[in-house]
Structure 1
């Protein structure tokens, strides 16, 4: 995936309003200056020399104003346009780092962030599609193989085992499809809102006990927070935890459990789609991926914390 957007230079630049206002003021003042100059110096230098001097002053002033407009307005727009075209074509190109005015700087940062986001999303969708194809291949192959053996005349205990294989593989595919649907829904924003942590937590039908150690308002709508807590509770329960502790404070939500925690070798992969240590027992590896997609779609970030006991996550909306 593409890297983060490069930081735009923070040197002082005149606002766009000042640039345009100064140019218009120069256009307005130049004729007045010429008239006054001719009136004062026309009889001293001669009308021809004074007019010639005014003409050169006009040429120089036009050149200076043209250079400033090119340097502060046109060149940044050209560079930003070239960058956007290169991003559209899928080429890696150095992002502009300087812009002529604060307005163009903010526009440039927004365009570059949008471009990086679209490229990262496209890369993510490709990897995601590859994962989906890989995960569905195994149960589909099992179903096809069992069906062929049944058609070949398998009977008795063999037929029952093959039927069980088809049933288990179809359930596996259904679980994957359900989690894929949750993942796709989580990746789309449902709007902003706030809810009280305790009210959502107490209304959940979770597989483990949920304790609110510090209550507070969370910048999510209740259904989104419920989905996040349900997925985290299910993931914790499946790994042997008996309770989940929640702590909300100042735009942050800390979630921890009393399970065995996450090994060092798996810490960097826990949010990857389809990564699971419970594949043999039916794990799909989509729980934490769904949580991350939902949190990011609402403008937040989720981080796995270092902790002596259990798995601990920090969801930050600041």
Structure 2
């Protein structure tokens, strides 16, 4: 591999400033001596062209050694951020020595994150695939035993418990696949609470809603926002809520969406764990502990964050997205 000489950044900057200063002094000196010989107007025109050409050369060097590598690195980071699953060509020109080291660090970090994401997906696919076969075998065995008609009441109860266990495993696997998909799926676009109000109200007829800031633009498409609210509102239903306040507001730096319910709330001890995968207080009733984790992953894929806020009544969640440019 060919080794390229990369000047230090301080040398490039000092050289550019020194060259600009030297051109100014050289122009003054040259004008003093050329003026009497060829006329000050002609001398000024000749020196103007010469200084312009020399300045253009200095500008080209600064563009090649500093600006172009920075723009290439910016494009690379934007492409990786937009789609972390595909292979993106890394920059090959780095200009100065410092930009070379910085670019290598950024590229290395992006590669590590991409490999880590691929490992998570591969591991999840492998686990769900391997467990799916024995779960299907358990289900088939349960059906054969039930169809045989030779089981006592106690044996039938045990078989039903086995069937319930395999159904719970299948539910957990499906939730795990959805959570991993949420880590990598981005719902590009914008929406408002007004865009998804009708769908939300229709899907949760048992809840009463109060909306505010309905026309605040949220930097995620309506499909993505619907998935997030679906998980949060389902959590409210499980906490016996009957009323939901949904508010969106724009701050100088962020877009905030607040979801407040009047349910039984979340205990202080559980507030820090509710977004962890598989954490649930309702496993006996079929809870998977993946709903809030899915919501968090979708929000994180859009550079947002979700927090559980202290509330005097019910549960309160706040979603924060970076403000739209």
Give the TM-score of the pair, scaled to structure 2.
0.57
SS in 2 for 1:277: coil
Structure 2 residue corresponding to 1:181, chosen from 158, 164, 177? 177
Q: Residues 7-33 of structure 1: CA distance to partner in whole angstroms, max 9, x if unpaired?
A: xxxxxx96786367579x69x99xxxx
Distance 1:274 1:126 in 2: 19
SS in 2 for 1:194: coil
8 Å CA contact 2:145, 2:151 repeated in 1? no
CA positional deviation for 1:208: 2.9
Match of 1:213 in 2: 212
Classify 1:126/1:239 alpha carbon distance in 2 versus 1 (closer, same or farther; 3 Å).
Answer: farther
Indicate yes or no: 2:292 matched with 1:288. yes
Q: Residues 157-176 of structure 1: CA distance to partner in whole angstroms, max 9, x if unpaired?
A: 13431342233223212321
Classify 1:203/1:170 alpha carbon distance in 2 versus 1 (closer, same or farther; 3 Å).
Answer: same
Match of 2:302 in 1: 298
CA positional deviation for 1:193: 0.7
CA positional deviation for 1:264: 1.2
Give the TM-score of the pair, scaled to structure 1.
0.58
Match of 1:241 in 2: 241
Match of 2:312 in 1: 308
CA positional deviation for 1:194: 0.2
8 Å CA contact 2:249, 2:257 repeated in 1? yes
Indicate yes or no: 2:160 matched with 1:161. no
8 Å CA contact 2:278, 2:290 repeated in 1? yes
Query: What are the within-5 Å matches in structure 2 for residues 80-119 of structure 1?
Result: 107=103, 110-111=106-107, 114=110, 117=113
Distance 2:11 2:179 in 1: 43
Match of 2:222 in 1: 222
Match of 1:33 in 2: none
8 Å CA contact 1:201, 1:226 repeated in 2? no
Indicate yes or no: 2:195 matched with 1:199. yes
Distance 1:240 1:16 in 2: 68
Structure 1: segments with no counterpart, 5+ residues = 1-12, 30-68, 70-98
Structure 1 residue corresponding to 2:167, chosen from 168, 171, 183? 171
Classify 1:202/1:18 alpha carbon distance in 2 versus 1 (closer, same or farther; 3 Å).
Answer: same
8 Å CA contact 2:128, 2:173 repeated in 1? no
CA positional deviation for 1:229: 0.5
Match of 1:272 in 2: 276
Q: Residues 263-288 of structure 1: CA distance to partner in whole angstroms, max 9, x if unpaired?
A: 11111111100000111111110011
CA positional deviation for 1:257: 1.2
Structure 2: segments with no counterpart, 5+ residues = 1-7, 24-64, 66-95
Report the count of equivalent residues: 233
The RMSD of aligned alpha carbons is: 4.3
CA positional deviation for 1:213: 2.6
Query: What are the within-5 Å matches in structure 2 for residues 65-144 of structure 1?
Result: 107=103, 110-111=106-107, 114=110, 117=113
Distance 1:317 1:308 in 2: 25
Classify 1:277/1:125 alpha carbon distance in 2 versus 1 (closer, same or farther; 3 Å).
Answer: farther
Q: Residues 78-97 of structure 1: CA distance to partner in whole angstroms, max 9, x if unpaired?
A: xxxxxxxxxxxxxxxxxxxx
SS in 1 for 2:184: coil
Classify 1:166/1:107 alpha carbon distance in 2 versus 1 (closer, same or farther; 3 Å).
Answer: same
8 Å CA contact 1:303, 1:314 repeated in 2? yes
